[in-house]
Structure 1
Amino acid sequence: MEDVYNQKDTYLRKKSEAAVVVKVESIHWKSSQPLTEDYLRHFDRVAALYDYNPWTSSSWQERAEQLDRERQLSADRAGLACVLKRFNERAGNAPEAMRAVNLLKDERTLCVVGGQQAGLFTGQTLVIYKAITLIQTAKLAAERLGRPVVPVFWIAGEDHDFDEVNHIQYLSQDMQVSKIKIEHPTGKRSSVSNLSIPQEQWEAALNELDQSLIPTEFKDDLMSSLRAFAEQSITLVDLFAKIMAKLFGSHGLVLVNSDDPALRRLESPMFRELLEHYAPINDAVHRSTAQVVTLGYKPQVEAQANSANLFVIDDDERVLLYADEASQDFTDRKKERAFAREQLLAWAETAPERLSNNVMTRPLMQEYLFPVLGTVLGPGEIAYWALSKGAFHHLGMQMPIIIPRLEFTLLEGTVQKNMHKYDLTLDDVLHRLDEKQQEWLRKQDTLQLEERFAQVKQQFKASYQPLIEITAGINPGLGKLGETNMAKILEQIDFLENKAQDAVRTQFDAALRQFQRISASVLPLGKPQERVYNIIHYLNKYGSGWLNELLEAGLEPDGQHKICYL
């Protein structure tokens, strides 16, 4: 397969008869995060915030040697492999993934790790692209280093923000961004992996999904698999893992649930470290935050004073811990709950499932559990990891190589056809589609309504203004009345013009719907497609052939946005 790194147009072909021919184009889509944009384009500006330059080939060997030499604070590999084996078996993961789990027992094996919350039906398509990036990067790293590198997807089951993961969005037949969601089963701020979803909720969501999918040759098998997975699932994490295993297990993707009680027991020593060193770790985060500000960027995460950067599970709720300077113990943010320091340290050893990481300690725990050669991050994550370097160093660790997640926009055949019909470039669609639509409408206006109405208004004002001046000379009040009268007449002319323009638009309803489809497909809700839509509707239309092509294509995470022409 031809390498597509830094090539503009590449055709990827699967060898089976059912191949989907995919054209991939790389473009520069500026990141909404200025720090991330500089990470991708001008690394020298942000180099002080990270330990490795991802764009220097020597970084891979340097990082591997550092892990071989200095990884003292780490979990037991055999124990980790055992935990992963049980979880991946429950998820129904493929033999290739199970072999990858066994490889972790080997001291030479390294990992590429990345993750996301367990969204309904996998959530946004960016989750799928993160998995692709993990698999591609692990393959490339193994080739470069001549040693095993395993892709690991970290399912953030400990997260409690249910509203982020309880829904999917898709483009409906009437060109609306529609939503399918499930309701919170308890209302408590519990970890997602501890929330049991009633079977009737699974069934309702699946029925909505079924009704939203157009009939295709792939639909029956797709819905059958999803229904079978849901029947075997209690939580969103269960369903998420089964779907991800189905899509990527044969490519060796290993899954881990960050809230797995068995994993928590492995994490016990690290929780103790994080509790005992909470103050210098938080100080390091504040210093890194100040450094980010000094370099001219806005921190992605607000550093909190006295934060322990850990959660405790209390009354089935996930509570963020803050240090109480007076007592040397810990409280919640409002100081309504108190936790003795010694009690938390005891739980770290006897009940580690009661503790949980926050956004700043999760990278540290990931480093403790896995020999992380590189971590795959999205734009926002790259920005907030810039705050973690000092925390890594305090614990005698280094940051892994940070690999930008591959970004994709899928351009379906109908959208491509409509773009060609209206002579629209991709740049037009991304930056000036409304302007192009209005320009097209004006070209269809053979009556030249805009010019004619403008001419009438100009002639009317030219004829009427002298009358106002004459009447004002008779009585100033008549002059004011004349001005008001003229404004009302012009308003009525504008009203007629708008009605006439609406009538013209009605003649071109089909064309306007095609413009709407282009917009809703590429930039739904004004956002990148990958941040809104779910993968299921694409799998229903096109099967998984295009996904397999991307997995086999050797696409390097080069910081460029990929346009995928289906």
Structure 2
Amino acid sequence: MPNDCISYQESGYFTKLMMDYLVEKPELKALYNRFPKLENFGPQIEEKAKNYPVEYRKTLVTALNNQYNGFKASKATQTNIALLSDSKTFTITTGHQLNLFTGPLYFLYKIVSVINLCKELKQAYPEHHFVPIYWMATEDHDFEEINFFHFKNTKIKWDRESHGPVGRLSTAGLEKVFEVFAKELGLGENAQYLKDLFDNSYLKHANLADATRYLANELFGDSGLLILDGDDVSLKQLFIPFIKEELLHQTSFNNVTKTNALLKEYTIQVNPREINLFYLEDTIRERIVFEDNQFKVNNTHLVFSEEEILELLKTNPEQFSPNVILRPLYQEVILPNLCYIGGGGEVAYWLQLKANFEANNITFPILLVRNSVLLTTEKQVQKADKLNLSWADLFSNQQTLFDKKTQEFSKFNLDFSAQKEHLKKQFEALNQLASQTDKSFSGAVKAQEVKQIKGLENLEKRLLKAEKKIHSEKLERIIQLQNELFPNQSLQERKNNFGEFYHEAGNTLKTKLFEKLHPLEAKFTIITI
């Protein structure tokens, strides 16, 4: 198996919208600013430089320095924070939920992608600086989406009640999770590293935002990754004019609704609300709605007049939280950002937002689908070679793979298409004869044709079934291998946690990711560790 990649089209795991975007389908051009090609970053830099106020840089640097207070920032991280004061510095950003212990593998792939793209851009545009950003989704309130991770065959879950933004959530109770995880890890140098990483991240920090910052900083701080928390008073102050616009004019609802009409042939990722803001406190994140000429907070008794809510915005902007429609705008307002790197689902909903950016006079970033990876071991590659499996085989539907390999292993042709075609031709003559006589005879001929074709199909299925029994041992090894690589017949990167692979490979895992991932190449990378 010499190839170490497979196209996104061949993988079968990407939506029609993403496939059309990746081939630059002309009908989608109105939904994005520039396609992610190296040469397109030059004009993107020029546009963002004109659109991003210089004074915002000071606020951003101060906010980051405050957020890193109490954390050990590497020299590379400190340098990158300082570089943001320079008007020639721009960011490449990815975002992710505060999944327990990073959650699924693609957390790593997102961050490696932003770091590697920054390196590539520095070579192409040496007069500028490029800084990788991980935007922590601290204001999310979907705790059930983040309170677990899978380690090998065990789902390790944090059971507790949660209300409000997850970033402010206390880490109390994670000692029990640590005990379960430590038991699963067992002994060994890599196991001890993972235990210490979990312990230092979650048991030595008071809230989930700080724990996640520590974790991401330990994994990627040496590469200069900046970890940004948007739940910040000073950063929200920069966003006040846009929150006011949303409250009074529902700009995003009108623009995104119009864009959604252009995406009728695709599955829409998100639908806008009339007001795309939440009211935020430590234990509350509830929608703001406008009813009876008043602003109300869902599921509370809070009610504001227009004057009152605008006064609250002026004095306490941190109590307003953008939803999935407005969060990208918030990000691009406060950052000198050129490109957002996300999964297919994320890029899909970003494609719904360009008109809203234009209405707010904010540069729309380049949208880049993150690298996707399949991690394998040498032993698994050897098994695939012995079974004469290609990567395309292993990525295919399991039933399709099962049938295809049965055909290959059989000593004779299991496809009765030729016989069925021959039978149809014989009945063509009978049907011509029948058309010249009684209608009842014609009906009998057609019924007989259907019966005999069905009989051949049944024989074909029985023969395939018989051959599967004969070759069952080899077929079972194929399915077993595919199940190892694609848990629950889904992508490994959407389920497995990095700890499972670090436990076996140690730092080789990160080293290989940095070596093999090329963000501007749209392909599914297979990495043997």
Give the CA deviation at 1:251: 0.8
What's 2:270 paired with?
A: 301
What's 1:533 paired with?
A: 496
* Counterparts of 2:328 and 2:386, CA distance in 1: 48
> Match for 2:159: what amino acid?
E
Give the CA deviation at 1:513: 7.2
* Counterparts of 1:513 and 1:91, CA distance in 2: 50
Deviations 1:282-330 (A, max 9, x none): 211111111222xx223211233xx211111268211122233x41x32
Give the CA deviation at 1:443: 10
What's 1:287 paired with?
A: 258
Matched-pair contact (CA < 8 Å) for 1:156–1:257: yes
What's 1:152 paired with?
A: 133
SS at match of 2:276: strand
* Counterparts of 2:383 and 2:297, CA distance in 1: 55
Given the alignment of the two structures, is residue 310 of structure 1 paired with residue 310 of structure 2, yes or no? Answer: no
Given the alignment of the two structures, is residue 519 of structure 1 paired with residue 500 of structure 2, yes or no? Answer: no
Given the alignment of the two structures, is residue 171 of structure 1 paired with residue 152 of structure 2, yes or no? Answer: yes
1:128 to 99, 108, 114: 108
Matched-pair contact (CA < 8 Å) for 1:75–1:369: no
Given the alignment of the two structures, is residue 181 of structure 1 paired with residue 157 of structure 2, yes or no? Answer: yes
Matched-pair contact (CA < 8 Å) for 2:516–2:525: no
What's 1:102 paired with?
A: 82
Report % sequence identity.
24
Matched-pair contact (CA < 8 Å) for 2:373–2:493: yes
Given the alignment of the two structures, is residue 405 of structure 1 paired with residue 370 of structure 2, yes or no? Answer: yes
2:43 to 52, 62, 68: 62
What's 1:485 paired with?
A: none
* Counterparts of 1:428 and 1:346, CA distance in 2: 61
SS at match of 1:301: coil
Given the alignment of the two structures, is residue 119 of structure 1 paired with residue 99 of structure 2, yes or no? Answer: yes
> Match for 1:318: what amino acid?
R
Give the CA deviation at 1:90: 3.6
Structure 1: unaligned runs, 5 residues or longer:
1-7, 11-23, 173-177, 447-496
Deviations 1:101-135 (A, max 9, x none): 11101111111111111100011111110001110
**Which stretch shifts more, 216-225 or 355-364?**
216-225
**Which stretch shifts more, 36-45 or 400-409?**
36-45
> Match for 1:288: what amino acid?
T
In the comparison of the two structures, how many residue pairs are matched?
472
What's 2:165 paired with?
A: 191
Given the alignment of the two structures, is residue 550 of structure 1 paired with residue 520 of structure 2, yes or no? Answer: no
SS at match of 1:46: helix
Given the alignment of the two structures, is residue 246 of structure 1 paired with residue 218 of structure 2, yes or no? Answer: yes
Alpha carbons of structure 1 residues 211 and 64: separation in structure 2 relative to 1, 3 Å: same
* Counterparts of 1:261 and 1:520, CA distance in 2: 47
Given the alignment of the two structures, is residue 358 of structure 1 paired with residue 323 of structure 2, yes or no? Answer: yes
Given the alignment of the two structures, is residue 40 of structure 1 paired with residue 40 of structure 2, yes or no? Answer: no
> Match for 1:93: what amino acid?
A
> Match for 2:283: what amino acid?
D
What's 1:386 paired with?
A: 351
Alpha carbons of structure 1 residues 445 and 560: separation in structure 2 relative to 1, 3 Å: closer
Alpha carbons of structure 1 residues 363 and 202: separation in structure 2 relative to 1, 3 Å: same
Given the alignment of the two structures, is residue 341 of structure 1 paired with residue 306 of structure 2, yes or no? Answer: yes
Deviations 1:409-458 (A, max 9, x none): 11123322322232222222221445555787899999xxxxxxxxxxxx
Alpha carbons of structure 1 residues 169 and 534: separation in structure 2 relative to 1, 3 Å: same
* Counterparts of 2:404 and 2:89, CA distance in 1: 58
Q: Where do 1:400-439 residues align within 5 Å?
A: 400-434=365-399, 436=401
What's 1:459 paired with?
A: none
* Counterparts of 1:292 and 1:311, CA distance in 2: 26
Matched-pair contact (CA < 8 Å) for 1:81–1:101: yes
Give the CA deviation at 1:269: 4.5
Alpha carbons of structure 1 residues 140 and 444: separation in structure 2 relative to 1, 3 Å: closer
> Match for 2:158: what amino acid?
I
Deviations 1:499-518 (A, max 9, x none): xx9xx89x95xx78754542
Give the CA deviation at 1:554: 6.3
Give the CA deviation at 1:140: 1.5
SS at match of 1:134: helix
SS at match of 2:250: helix
TM-score when scaled to structure 2? Answer: 0.81
Give the CA deviation at 1:358: 0.6
Deviations 1:531-557 (A, max 9, x none): 111111111110122312322456233
Alpha carbons of structure 1 residues 429 and 315: separation in structure 2 relative to 1, 3 Å: closer
What's 2:434 paired with?
A: none
Deviations 1:345-390 (A, max 9, x none): 2222211221101111111111111011111121011111111111
* Counterparts of 1:445 and 1:61, CA distance in 2: 57
Given the alignment of the two structures, is residue 234 of structure 1 paired with residue 206 of structure 2, yes or no? Answer: yes
> Match for 1:225: what amino acid?
L
Give the CA deviation at 1:98: 1.6
Alpha carbons of structure 1 residues 512 and 226: separation in structure 2 relative to 1, 3 Å: farther
Alpha carbons of structure 1 residues 531 and 78: separation in structure 2 relative to 1, 3 Å: same
* Counterparts of 1:247 and 1:234, CA distance in 2: 20
TM-score when scaled to structure 1? Answer: 0.76
Give the CA deviation at 1:30: 3.9
